[in-house]
Amino acid sequence: MGKVIVIEHLTLDGVMQAPGHPEEDPRDGFRHGGWATRGQDPAMQEVMGVYMSSTWSLLAGRTTYERFADYWPKQAPNPFTEALDRVQKYVASTTLTEPPAWQNSTLLKDDAADAVSRLKGELQENLVVFGSGVLVRSLLPRNLIDTFILLIHPLTLGSGRRLFPDSGSELSTFRLVDSVSTGTGVIVATYQPAGS
């Protein structure tokens, strides 16, 4: 049975929106895009590489998928681009109607949590999620996430979309299974749910 592994860049105040570049996600007037770039460190790639070196598939929401599909296939050859081109990609969306154009992509049209629950039962490989905040928040109430890899950056932004919603969440506890500090002050913490 496959596991869902969520990899997120977070600020100390829990913001996950637009870590990569200024224009990545300006929804709700967010103006701090690209906040994670100064914290990049080889230790981050080592931790993520553990989950991307074995058999895995990409699970993404529409917005993240479209940004990845527009960016990664156009990059010069590198291990991350090659890995993303090669893997099976599952796109959870209720608004996409066309089959995704990026090779090895499958559209999940149904309710995201239902579709992911089915995939977990059908697949042996892990489903790795980068970003995709709306998708991740839809999986939380059904306890479909097996591992969170949180790259916690030493800054606060004061506004922006957060990984865990401010309201409507139930009490949950997590077990720390690994942690690494980087030279840039980012803590890479790996958590697994420990129950309610």
Given a contact cutoff of 8 angstroms between Cβ atoms, the answer to whether 69 and 100 are in contact is: yes
- Model confidence band, residue 106 (pLDDT cutoffs 50, 70, 90): very high
**In 62-196, beta strands by DSSP E:** 89-92, 105-108, 126-130, 147-153, 173-181, 187-195
Q: Measured between alpha carbons, how far is residue 10 from residues 89, 148, 155, 168 in Å?
A: 24, 12, 9, 20
Higher pLDDT, 164 or 10: 10
Higher pLDDT, 168 or 62: 62
Higher pLDDT, 37 or 120: 120
Amino acid at 127: L
**pTM for this entry:** 0.91
Task: Quick: pLDDT tens for 29-59.
Answer: 999 988 988 878 777 777 777 766 668 999 9
Catalogue all structural domains in the chain, each as residue range(s) with its CATH number: 4-22+31-195 (3.40.430.10)
Q: Mean pLDDT score of the chain, rounded to an integer?
A: 88
Is a pLDDT exceeding 90 seen at residue 92? Answer: yes
* 90: its two tokens: 């599952």
Is a pLDDT exceeding 70 seen at residue 21? Answer: yes
